[in-house]
Structure 1
Amino acid sequence: MKKFAQYLLAASLGLGGTTAFADALTDAVKGEHRSADAKVRDEYRNPQQTLRFFGIQPDMTVVEIWPGGGWYADILAPMLKEKGNYVAAHFFIDEESHDYYRKSLDGFKDKMEKADHYSDVTLTAFHPGKAHDIAEPGSADAVLTFRNVHNWYMNGGKEDTDKAFESFFKALKPGGILGVVEHEMPESGNDAAMKDSGYMKRSVVMDAAKKAGFKLAESSDVNANPQDNADHPRGVWTLPPRLALDEKDREKYLTIGESNRMTLKFVKPKS
């Protein structure tokens, strides 16, 4: 009743949508269902600022691509539960799938069964070469992908990357939003490094989006880290949280922090 009263008061002031969004997002981010380890990463992933930038509202249909263990799902699912729809386009599994993908999907399904805020989640599958129907065509208000583009590029180059963005375009309504967060390589970097470093050039992401039909609406530095030069012995996995070199230069990489990330908001044109 208290939240409903607050909503009505805000609406009377012409601020209902904004307040409802802020309440739903803040409640989801601060919720006790999120582990302490997950919340520690808020410093680098900036979920509230990022989702505000993408314009995600509680009454939207939002597709998240490859949610993995559910870090963002634990925010989006409760935020969208009452008025919206959260679609988890998880890993596509067949006889060729790596055990990592199987275990990740099984873990996500287990989370869905045990957590009440996942009770209304729609589970679909995505693979740039094998599974493109992430949602009903033209049904999504937003498609979000967090640190995934490098996987498609590393496995299938520009072809798989282009196919991914085409799938996102197909799922979105006219005027719908595509939000992309990705580890960023300087434009002066070696193109060949994109095949194994986990970093992508912004121009490559922009080209794939443009080819699919998207228009860039805005970019943000909310997830930028100027201390990261994207040149490390084991690519992005050298940095936290992976720290692939174990104890070697550990303090150095902890001081750098997590990767420098581009945050791009694209729109599917209305006509």
Structure 2
Amino acid sequence: MRPGLLALSSFLGLVAASLGVPAAAAEKPSALPACKGCKPALERVAANPLRNGDRARDQYRRPVETLSFFGVQPDMKVGEYAPGGEWYSRFLGLYLREKGRLVGLYFDTTSTAFDASRQAGIRKAAANYAADVAKFTGFPAERFAAYTLDAVPEAEKGTFDVIIVPRMLHNLMRWNIAESEVARMRDLLKPGGVIGIEQHRAKPTAPDDYADGSKGYLREADVIRFMEGQGFELVGESEANANPKDTANWPEGVWTLPPTLALKEQDKAKYQAIGESDRMTLLFRKKA
């Protein structure tokens, strides 16, 4: 078995052993209350002139629909997992800067998934996060925070309303750190707190070696089963980030499509016309 497949082995086995009924079909999710007043506030952020450089990707990332579905209210404490290019950080920073609290949550740097150089890079990114968001939003850096998951202060545990995980679960699977990272995030959530996952979606019939994270795609039923095994219950599913043009069977994986365009100029117009990947958008609540 290749490195990176171990994280999936336990729940792929459960999938194979099941009766073939998709996890989502077993019982209907118990819906959370609607995010009252969220959409107008999110729309104002989406239209903010400070986002002129980010807005082109809204058609694929649909922040208003996604964050409204996740129930992110302006006065909440929200964790953004693996901020990366900080596209969501900038949006959430504007949305939460007055009443809420935005915290960047970075990989556990003690993990064997990262060499010393990468560990140092992750720590540096976390150290710069608050200043980055402050510079963009115009609010003091003290309004924001960031931690690597191995260095979160004890007082932060059990204080988060929502943690969002955009397009990252496949990496955790292939690096064999999904269970440990999700467990740490679970500890940070309040009782009944939620994790919102946006993830490149494989077809239900995709073979295991395509849907193991190595191509960027995961099967939706597998993600649901995995999260349920980590102490969460599914409470909502959205098609806000669906893209039926994505056949999700590219030899170069999800990176064939924009924004990466792994094949460079080869069939570039074709992939640009397809757009970014088909994505599941799932909401999970922490069980007691």
- Which bin holds the TM-score, normalised by the shorter protein? 0.7 to 0.9
2: CA distance, partners of 1:197 / 1:239: 12
The answer on 1:187 being equivalent to 2:208 is: no
> What is the CA-CA distance between 1:176 and the residue it aligns to?
1.0
In structure 1, the partner of 2:28 is none
| Contact 1:236–1:259 (Cα < 8 Å) also in 2 | yes
| Contact 1:60–1:85 (Cα < 8 Å) also in 2 | yes
Distance 1:161 1:93, change over 3 A: closer
1:192-271 → structure 2 map (5 Å cutoff): 192-193=209-210, 194-269=212-287, 271=288
> What is the CA-CA distance between 1:155 and the residue it aligns to?
1.1
| Contact 1:141–1:173 (Cα < 8 Å) also in 2 | yes
From 105, 120, 124, give the equivalent of 2:147.
124
Secondary structure at the aligned position of 1:122 is classed as strand
| Contact 1:134–1:167 (Cα < 8 Å) also in 2 | no
Superimposed CA distance per residue, residues 38-87 of structure 1 (whole angstroms, 9 cap, x where no aligned partner): 21110011000001111110111110101112111111112111111111
> What is the CA-CA distance between 1:103 and the residue it aligns to?
7.6
In structure 1, the partner of 2:46 is 29
In structure 2, the partner of 1:83 is 99
| Contact 1:69–1:104 (Cα < 8 Å) also in 2 | no
1: CA distance, partners of 2:250 / 2:103: 35
Distance 1:118 1:221, change over 3 A: farther
| Contact 1:134–1:171 (Cα < 8 Å) also in 2 | no
Q: Which residue identity lines up with residue 114 of structure 1 in the other structure?
A: K
From 149, 152, 174, give the equivalent of 1:154.
174
In structure 1, the partner of 2:89 is 73
Superimposed CA distance per residue, residues 164-193 of structure 1 (whole angstroms, 9 cap, x where no aligned partner): 221222111111111000001112111112
Secondary structure at the aligned position of 2:60 is classed as helix
Distance 1:248 1:133, change over 3 A: farther
1: CA distance, partners of 2:58 / 2:155: 28
Distance 1:262 1:80, change over 3 A: same
TM-score norm. by structure 2 comes to: 0.77
1:53-72 → structure 2 map (5 Å cutoff): 53-72=69-88
In structure 2, the partner of 1:9 is none
Q: Which residue identity lines up with residue 231 of structure 1 in the other structure?
A: N
1: CA distance, partners of 2:236 / 2:189: 18
> What is the CA-CA distance between 1:27 and the residue it aligns to?
2.4
In structure 2, the partner of 1:145 is 165
Superimposed CA distance per residue, residues 213-243 of structure 1 (whole angstroms, 9 cap, x where no aligned partner): 1110010111011111111121101000111
2: CA distance, partners of 1:176 / 1:170: 10
From 168, 183, 186, give the equivalent of 1:166.
183
In structure 2, the partner of 1:114 is 135
Distance 1:81 1:203, change over 3 A: same
2: CA distance, partners of 1:190 / 1:76: 36
Query: What are structure 2's unaligned runs of at least 5 residues?
Result: 1-34
| Contact 1:69–1:108 (Cα < 8 Å) also in 2 | no
1: CA distance, partners of 2:261 / 2:131: 27
2: CA distance, partners of 1:258 / 1:153: 21
The number of aligned residues is 246
**Larger mean Cα displacement after TM superposition, 90-99 or 41-50:** 90-99
| Contact 1:77–1:118 (Cα < 8 Å) also in 2 | no
Distance 1:261 1:131, change over 3 A: farther
Q: Which residue identity lines up with residue 258 of structure 1 in the other structure?
A: E
